[in-house]
């Protein structure tokens, strides 16, 4: 099968992930595709992850870090311009899942470039035991999209903060991330190798001796990708709302009130049920207070909207709006 190389010049993660889906679903299956691309500062979460369980909402909002859900499985990854992404899209005759058939050639190319890369049991590419590349797949009717990260250089501090979830009290049915020790490729490559040099070298090594044509995006391609970006990858419905069901539990002693426990059940990214338990005094039936939370997003914005609709101190002795919000954001 003949390879086509696609270049993505934008660094908008929502556009780039839309482009992957477009190539997978819409471009001719007579070709195999390879893309190299970069995202500006963003968190890319796995298909079946709870966004709230993976990111530090306050930190990413402050820093303007976008969260985008991808089609493939696995855990949350922090991306910025020190990271290079690669994507293979092609048909496979066997339906046996195999990440290795894509990871191995990448590792071999890295070895040729001087980094002693290996593929570990989790299909991460490692150098000296530290992860430099995470890989994942999306499969549909015999077509496989395999993509991975390549950490060229990085500010690991920002990554660690962005991926430190604020909602620690969340019990999720979703897929949890596995933390790994990271390394960067730059230190293994000849001095002064830039990311642009690395990109070209990688392409040359990976496809040495193979016919590869450069695919030029048409206007129609670009506008279809833009449509997909707007309808899916840049929407809270996809990036937050597609989260698997989860339960959130918050409990603390609130002075002049008592021990308050709040239980929220979240389905399709929205609160479906809220309960208040504890040794506090109630002034009246709690149903309207619980109802105010139903249909809200389980984050600061949603909690504030709920508390505008119902003042908890009217229901529970000594529980002010501020105290309850403090508990929910603790």
Partner 1 sequence: MNYPVELLYSKTHEWVKEEDGVVVIGISDFAQDALGDLVFINLPEVGDEVVCGEAFGDVESVKAVSDLICPVSGTVCAVNEELLDSPEMLNEEPYDAWIIKVENETEREELLSAAAYEAFCAEEG
Give the integer Cα–Cα distance in Å for 26 and 221. Answer: 9
Binding residues for partner 1, per CB under 8 A? 46-48, 71-74, 93-97, 99, 122-123, 135-141, 173-175, 244-245
User: Which secondary-structure segment (H or E) carries 78?
Assistant: strand 77-79
* C-beta closer to partner 1: residue 71 or 327: 71
User: Which secondary-structure segment (H or E) carries 5?
Assistant: strand 2-7
* C-beta closer to partner 1: residue 131 or 199: 131
**HSE toward the beta carbon, residue 115, CA cutoff 13 A:** 32
Q: Closest distance between partner 1 and the C-beta of residue 97, in Å?
A: 5
Q: Is 71 helix (H, G, I), strand (E, B) or coil?
A: coil
* C-beta closer to partner 1: residue 138 or 303: 138
Q: Closest distance between partner 1 and the C-beta of residue 321, in Å?
A: 34
Pick from 174, 126, 173, 171: which is nearest to 149 by CA? 126
Q: Closest distance between partner 1 and the C-beta of residue 75, in Å?
A: 8
Q: How far apart are the first and last CA of the chain?
A: 54
CA-based Rg of the chain, rounded to a whole angstrom?
A: 23
* C-beta closer to partner 1: residue 144 or 257: 144
| Residues 2 and 207 sit within 8 Å (Cβ to Cβ) | no
Q: Closest distance between partner 1 and the C-beta of residue 284, in Å?
A: 34
* C-beta closer to partner 1: residue 2 or 140: 140
Q: Closest distance between partner 1 and the C-beta of residue 74, in Å?
A: 4
């Amino acid at each position: 099968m003949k390879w086509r190389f696609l270049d993505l010049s934008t660094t908008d993660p929502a556009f780039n992930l839309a482009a992957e889906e477009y190539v997978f679903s819409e471009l001719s299956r007579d070709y195999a595709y390879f893309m190299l691309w970069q995202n500006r500062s963003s968190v890319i979460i796995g298909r079946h992850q709870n966004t709230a369980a993976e990111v530090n909402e306050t930190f990413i909002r402050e820093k303007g870090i976008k969260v985008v859900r991808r089609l493939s499985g696995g855990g949350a990854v922090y991306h910025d311009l020190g990271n290079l992404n690669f994507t293979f899209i092609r048909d496979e005759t066997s339906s046996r899942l195999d990440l290795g058939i894509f990871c191995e050639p990448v590792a071999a190319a890295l070895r040729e470039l001087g980094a002693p890369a290996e593929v570990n049991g989790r299909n991460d590419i490692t150098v000296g035991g530290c992860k430099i590349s995470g890989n994942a797949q999306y499969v549909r009717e015999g077509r496989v999209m395999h993509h991975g990260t390549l950490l060229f250089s990085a500010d690991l501090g920002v990554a660690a903060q962005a991926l430190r979830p604020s909602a620690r009290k969340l019990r999720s049915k979703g897929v949890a991330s596995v933390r790994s020790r990271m390394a960067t490729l730059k230190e293994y490559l000849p001095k002064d190798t830039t990311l642009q040099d690395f990109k070209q070298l990688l392409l040359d090594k990976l496809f040495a001796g193979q016919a590869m044509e450069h695919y030029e995006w048409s206007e129609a391609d670009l506008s279809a990708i833009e449509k997909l970006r707007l309808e899916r990858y840049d929407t809270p419905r996809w990036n937050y709302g597609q989260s698997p069901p989860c339960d959130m539990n918050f409990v603390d002693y609130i002075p002049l009130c008592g021990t308050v426990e709040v239980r929220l059940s979240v389905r399709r990214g929205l609160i479906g049920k809220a309960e208040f338990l504890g040794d506090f005094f109630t002034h009246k039936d709690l149903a309207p207070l619980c109802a105010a939370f139903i249909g809200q997003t389980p984050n600061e914005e949603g909690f504030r909207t709920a508390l505008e609709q119902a003042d908890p101190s009217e229901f529970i002795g000594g529980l002010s709006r501020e105290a309850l919000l403090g508990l929910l954001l603790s």
